[in-house]
Chains A and B, each alone.
Chain A
Amino acid sequence: MSFDWFWTAALAAWVFMPMVVLFELPLHALTFAGLTKRFARRRAADRVRASAAAAKAFPCVSCIITCYSEGADVVRTIRSLASQNYRGPIEIFAMVDGALRNRETYDFANAMLPVVNGVPNRRLRVIAKWQRGGRVSSLNSGLALATGEVVMVLDGDTSYDDDMVAKAIPHFDDPNVVAVAGNLRVRNSPFNLLTRLQALEYMITISLNKTAISEFNLVNNISGAFGIFRRELLMRIGGWNSGTAEDVDLTLRIKQYFGRHPHLRIVFDPAVVGHTAAPETVSRFLKQRLRWDGDLFYEYIAVHPHVFNPSIVGGKTALHLIWSALISQLMLPPLIFGYFAYIAIFTPISFVFSAPLVYAYYLFCTLIFFVAYIALVSERKRDDALYVLYIPLFPFYVLGGKLWSFLALLGDALFHFHLDSAMAPWWVLRKVRS
């Protein structure tokens, strides 16, 4: 009897294990270390941050909503901002890009003027950018008009909890805090299995993971759908840059100050909550991830390769970026793709033995993370606990995402997909300096 198949399977498993040990376990360890640190000081810290009355000041907050073709959805966004229980003034800018062709969005936003302007301490301005200039031009135009000390950057189809501003502003009592990354939840999660899996992904990769790494000032991205900044900082660094992935670009540019100013902080607060709509069809989901993952290659390799330099971003940040961005997001997808290709071509039988091991490993990790999320992070425990039913499918979802990520990276590297972004018109993108 030949046991070649067994040794082949064992070999395949051994190929997989170093990948796990070298790349993933350190990140898992970082996550749990961060959660432990947070748990240890949670009560005191959360009491201060959660209480709006404990805030030392109530500065004017400028909310810049980037609108394009949201249509009636923009009403929900504006209404959720007008309903904030924050004691200070809030000015809301609904920047309607390409208002000439997006007349419906412009009209819906205008319809909210009497509603918002009738609320004390709330002011809405609907700014029509008749000629489309792209998301960055909307952001920078809003920044040019904003008068608040704190600027919030929000999507036109994302709504926010009533206490979002009240919970975000106290972070800025610390003069070292330059930005707060908000926590996003999937609003349409019950729609189908795909949206539920995305909701689970947001819980683990955004809510849980960012909560943990925020303890070490290692927040890797301030989402463009929900970012909160000191206006002074934005003015100093010249606002947003043209091109796609402007949120990643801005985060990396802020981190470039960390080398010289190690006391500066970017905070993630899971209690500062926004609700966004996730893609409901597979095609739209794949298109979104093509943009997200492809843009990562463009930003890290083409635009900001120097962020891996410790002297620029600081040693801790550089190490984390190497691990989480360069290795995990840029190198790992091709490795996973190559691993499966190798097995499929040379030792297909070993897949039968190694796949369950790999699956068991990721299932275990997901379960551990999910329990940690429910116990330590979730503010809607009863609603979120039901997602335990989808954990068995989650490893397949992640694997599919990694394989697609490889294709996205390849596509951007070879075909420059970032130039075909929907975030800006072609006549702007072609002028972007890479």
Chain B
Amino acid sequence: MQHQRSWVESPLQFIDDTIGRHRKKPGDSNIAAFLPFESFLIIDEVDAERQVENLHAIRSDSQRYLTPVFLLRSESAEAACLGDGVVLDAGAASERAAVIERRVALLAELGPPFDATDRLLRFLFTRAGFELRPIRDWKVARSYRYPLLDALREVDTDCRTWLEALGSAKLIEPAGTIVDRVRHCRACDSSHLNYIDLCPTCTGLQIKAASFLHCFGCGYVAEEGAFQASAQRACPKCARILRHIGVDYDRALETFSCSDCGASFSDAKIVARCLNCSREFDPVSLTARDVRGWRLSRAGTLAVRAGAAVPQVDGSLASIVSERQFIDLVAWYQRTRQRDATSQFGLICVRVGEGDAMAAAACDTELKHALWQRVRAVVRGSEVVGEGSSDSLWVFCPNSDPSSLENIRRRLDALTDAIDATVTGPAKLRVSFVHSDDLPAGVHPEGLLAQIARSLAVGEVT
């Protein structure tokens, strides 16, 4: 065995620390599947489930997620998304691991990753050309998941939202061709949909198909049952025995009839019913999303090298930064304010829903997204909009005195009034404002944002 490197203190310890936490039952050791080397691991495991289990454990570990891990035998599709490929022997693994090590070394001066995004970007950076690939999984609501995102994400992070934020921030870019296109429920975003054919008149389920036969001899057309009065198929009009389809008769047409209302029709009405929330939609109105692979973009590469995920603040409707980025921005601005007391800013929290109905409103992702876009359109391009929790949006207004903050407040009030007047149910906007002059000194942005959000939840509007 080669000399052990410091950043993998003890391969066996490493395995015990990472894999051991994921043992399915006491005493179950799959340490034998591992071939620990100086700076990489080889998993000698045939069972696909165990491969994924082990790889997931390693990638989930915030200390060791960058470890090169190879598979000695064939890899499953999911294992390919997590591992670094299949090797035939240790020599090949060593060569490939060396490439990864060199890129890891470029990040040596950076501190520990501050969030999941950072970990993901670093992982993609250390694997040149690595593609963040989806796999199909019927057990998840959206039918596809990204195993690497599952392994690296924070506990309460929604992978789709995370992926969209990364794409919007242009830290990752599409790779290759589209893998699939999946339609989602507009209410709960589930892709488990049941397409049902219904009666177009009464939307009942009790429909049945009826086939009409056409007698070549006399031209008579009627339902198939009319031709089957006896054991042999015969035309009820001319009594001709119909023996051979295409020679004596043919199927003129097929139609449907509804047992509930008696209507007859050629094409049933198709609706898509969500198996999760039971809501029904016209299939044409479903949200269609492309499923594709992603890779690290140039901006993402620069962000990794710089040690921070730089938000894309370009004033476009799409630029809604993550909560982490927003907090960092506020923190940075507070630090600059310490040097220059004249600089001032405003913070606005916009929350959707009202009281106990907030949870219900937050489920309607399509509506929420539409509301966020309207808020983004109202504020100026110089304001930074960040997504807070699942039902709130933050707006950072740099260089804003109380009067300009009041202008923004009036615009948002007009927007909330318009929405309140047209949208029924829980989807209402509630707004809270605070100016930097009103903030106590030294307050941490995270605590500040949480405090403002709480005030909205209990109905206090400042």
Contact = CB atoms under 8 A, between A and B. Distances in A.
Interface string B219-242: 111110000000000000110000
Nearest to A132: B250
Contacts of B246: 427
Contacts of B223: 144
Interface stretch (B9-17, B181-189, B210-218, B354-362): B210-218
A432 B255 CA distance: 26
Contact of B252 (A125, A133, A238, A240): A133
A137 B219 contact: yes
A128 B212 CA distance: 12
B253 interface: yes
A141 B252 contact: yes
B266 interface: yes
B248 interface: yes
A431 B248 contact: yes
A4 to B, nearest CB: 59
Interface in A140-184: 140-141, 143-145, 147
A29 B409 CA distance: 94
Max chain B Cβ within 10 angstroms of own Cβ: one of A125, A431, A433: A431
Given A125-B265, A145-B255, A433 B212 contact: no
B266 A239 contact: no
A129 B215 CA distance: 14
What is the size category of the interface that chain A forms with chain B? Answer: 20 to 34
Given A128-B253, A238-B237, A433-B238, A133 B217 contact: no
Interface string A412-431: 00000000000000011001
Contacts of A239: 219-221, 237
Contacts, number: 71
Nearest to B221: A140
Nearest to A139: B219
B216 A141 contact: no
A9 B247 CA distance: 59
B216 to A, nearest CB: 4
A403 interface: no
A137 B251 CA distance: 10
A238 B218 contact: yes
A433 B264 contact: no
A248 to B, nearest CB: 14
A100 to B, nearest CB: 12
Contacts of B222: 144
Contact of B219 (A125, A126, A128, A136): A136
Contact of A431 (B217, B264, B265): B217
A131 interface: yes
Given A126-B266, A238-B237, A140 B219 contact: yes
Nearest to A238: B237
B269 to A, nearest CB: 13
A408 interface: no
A141 B220 contact: no
Contacts of A195: none
9 contacts: A128-B266, A131-B251, A133-B214, A137-B214, A137-B250, A141-B221, A144-B222, A147-B264, A431-B216
Q: Which 5 A-B pairs have the closest CB atoms?
A: A242-B219, A140-B221, A431-B216, A136-B219, A137-B214
Given A128-B253, A143-B221, A246-B219, 9 more contacts: A129-B253, A140-B221, A240-B219, A242-B215, A242-B216, A427-B247, A428-B216, A431-B216, A433-B218
